[in-house]
């Protein structure tokens, strides 16, 4: 499968614990996005990477959230001291930045986080 893969697919954790999610984008894609989606809502932008540089972070992203893309390939999203309000589906998407490209985002299946 050469699409965007996310791991794990599901994560159940207790409030206060730290969790880390991984996203492997399509190999030649240099753009990577993280989104959060709650039930019945559209995905909300969290952060954006171009290669290894994190170029933008949403105001939604509190200090407990951190994302990295150390070698410009896979990315991780860490949530520290999880809260029940962090329960959501975390989606990763990648796209190719090139002249004339449409910035079509290819989404992974997501990681569903449940904080008890």
Partner 1 sequence: GQQVMQIPQYQHVQEGEDFTTYCNSSTTLSNIQWYKQRPGGHPVFLIQLVKSGEVKKQKRLTFQFGEAKKNSSLHITATQTTDVGTYFCIIYSGAGSYQLTFGKGTKLSVIP
Residues that bind partner 1 (CB under 8 A): 33, 35, 40-45, 48, 50, 55-56, 58, 91, 93, 102-110
Nearer to partner 1 (CB atom), residue 50 or residue 66: 50
State in angstroms the smallest separation of the CB of 40 from partner 1: 8
State in angstroms the smallest separation of the CB of 31 from partner 1: 8
State in angstroms the smallest separation of the CB of 81 from partner 1: 25
State in angstroms the smallest separation of the CB of 99 from partner 1: 14
Nearer to partner 1 (CB atom), residue 14 or residue 102: 102
DSSP-based helix, strand, coil % in the chain, nearest 5: 5, 50, 50
Nearer to partner 1 (CB atom), residue 25 or residue 43: 43
54: buried, middle or exposed (CB in 10 Å: 19+, 13-18, 0-12)? Answer: middle
Nearer to partner 1 (CB atom), residue 48 or residue 82: 48
42 vs 13, 38, 39, 101, CA distance in Å? 24, 8, 8, 24
**DSSP 8-state code for residue 26:** -
Instruction: Tell me how far apart the alpha carbons of residues 99 and 77 are, in angstroms, rounded to a whole number.
Output: 29
């Amino acid at each position: 499968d050469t699409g965007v893969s996310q791991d794990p697919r599901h994560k159940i954790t207790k409030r206060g614990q730290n969790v880390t999610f991984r996203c492997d984008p399509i190999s030649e894609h240099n753009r990577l996005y993280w989104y959060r989606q709650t039930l019945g809502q559209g995905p909300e932008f969290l952060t954006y990477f171009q290669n290894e540089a994190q170029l933008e972070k949403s105001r939604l992203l509190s200090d407990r959230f951190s994302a990295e893309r150390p070698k410009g390939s896979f990315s991780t999203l860490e949530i520290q001291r999880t809260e029940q309000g962090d329960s959501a589906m975390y989606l990763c998407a990648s796209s190719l930045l090139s002249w004339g490209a449409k910035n079509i985002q290819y989404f992974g299946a997501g990681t569903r986080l449940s904080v008890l």
